A = this chain, B = another copy of it.
Amino acid sequence: MKRHIDNPLIGPADVVPSAPGFRVRGAFNPGATRFQDEILLLLRVAEDCPAEEGTVSVPTLKIADGIGRAEALTVALDDPDVRLKDTRGVIYKGVDYLSTMSHLRLARSRDGIHFTVNETPFIFPSEPCERFGVEDARITRIGDTWYINYTCVSPDGWATRLASTRDFKSLVRHGTIFTVQNKDVAITPEKVNGLYWALHRPNNSGFGRPSIWYAESPDLIHWGNHRCLLRPRDTIWEEMKIGGGFPSIRTEQGWLQVYHGKGRDQVYSLSALLLDLNDPTRIVKQAKSPFLIPEEPYETDGFFGNVVFSNGAVTWPDGRVFIYYGACDETVCLVETTIAELLGSLDS
C-alpha cells in the first residue's frame, strides 16, 4: 500500500471558481470511474466567498427553469438584518446561508495520476433540496450507463440523490433515493438474487451511533429492505461513526468494501470488510484496524485536519487498485494498492 509520491494530486489551486466572487477552498472526495480511455474523477469542489473587512459574504443559489446559478451575497457586518452563525454561516433577513457551498466537477486523466480539471461544473445544485450544495459523488457503471449518487444539502437536511449519464456531458436526474438524513451510499454494479443492493448510512441520532446499512432495489430508484449491517466498534478509529466508501469490488472471496471510521478526536481513517458474494447482508471478514490513517502532513494539516475519506477507486486488470481519497476536506490524494493486499488486510 503506497501513497503516491506526488500527493496531493489535485488541490484548490487547480480549480477555477464557478462564479465571480467565489474562492475554491477544497477539491476533494472524488468519485472515480473509467470512461473510454480515461480515468475520470468527479471532485467535490467547495467554495466560499472572500469578504472585505467589515463585511460578510456567502454563496447563494438562484434556481430558474431547473438551472441553479450561484451568486455571492455580501452584506455589512453592522447591517441589523445580519446574524452570524458561529463559523458555518449567516442568517440574513431570516434566511439561512452556509459559508461554503459544494458542486461536482470532472477531472480527466490518461494515467490516473496526472489530471486536468474541467473549467465548469458537471453537477451543480439546481433544486431546492440542493440549496446548500451537492457533495461526495460515488459512480457505479452498469452497462453503458454511469450512475452517480451524491449528497444534497438543504435547510431540510442532507440526503442522497441519483443521476445518470452515458457521455459525461448530459445528465439525467432520478430524484432523491435515500431521504434525510442519509449519505455514504455505495451502489454495487451487479444484482444479487435479482435485486440491486447498496450500502447506506442513515443518521440515528438519539439511538445508536451512525452505522452501515444495507438496502435493495429493483431499479436503482426505489429502495427497501433496509437492514443495519455493521455498527461502529469501540476502537479509537470508529468510536464516533462509520460509513461506506466507494462501490463494492467483486472478488473471488466476496464483495470487498472500503469504509471510513470517525474515531477519537474526529480522526477519519479507511478500513475494509468483505461481504458474502451471494448474501451481501452477511459480513465474512473485517479488518481489525485501518489500512490508511492520517499521517502525512497533507493528511494531518488542512481545511479540516486528520481526515482521509474515500468515495472513489479504479481497478486495473492486473489487480492493482487506485484508491483516490480526500485529505483534510481539501485535496485529492492517491494510495496504490492491490486486491490481494486489501484482502490481506482483513481479519476473520
- Which residues of A does B touch, CB under 8 Å? 129, 154-159, 174-182, 200, 202-208, 211, 213, 215-219, 221-228, 231
Contacts and interface: CB of A to CB of B under 8 A. Distances in A.
Contacts of A180: 202-204, 207, 213, 226, 228
Contacts of A157: 202, 204, 206-208
Given A181-B202, A218-B218, A223-B224, A207 B175 contact: no
A62 to B, nearest CB: 19
Contacts of A222: 216-219, 222-225
A311 to B, nearest CB: 20
B205 A205 contact: yes
24 contacts: A129-B227, A155-B208, A156-B211, A156-B231, A157-B206, A174-B224, A175-B225, A176-B227, A179-B202, A179-B226, A180-B202, A180-B203, A180-B213, A180-B226, A180-B228, A181-B204, A181-B205, A205-B205, A216-B222, A217-B224, A218-B218, A218-B219, A222-B225, A223-B224
A305 B144 CA distance: 58
Q: Is the interface of A mostly helix, strand, loop or mixed?
A: strand
A215 B154 CA distance: 18
Contacts of A207: 154-158, 180-181
Complex copy number for this chain? 2
Contact of A204 (B156, B215, B223): B156
Given A155-B208, A157-B202, A224 B175 contact: yes
A224 B208 CA distance: 25
B129 A228 contact: yes
A156 B212 CA distance: 11
A91 to B, nearest CB: 14
A293 B255 CA distance: 54
A71 to B, nearest CB: 23
A215 B157 CA distance: 16
Contacts of A213: 179-180
B182 A179 contact: yes
Contacts of A206: 157, 181, 205
Contacts of A179: 178, 182, 200, 202, 213, 215, 226
Given A203-B203, A204-B181, A225 B176 contact: yes
A326 B228 CA distance: 31
Contacts of A174: 224
Nearest to A200: B179
Contact of A156 (B129, B154, B156, B208): B208
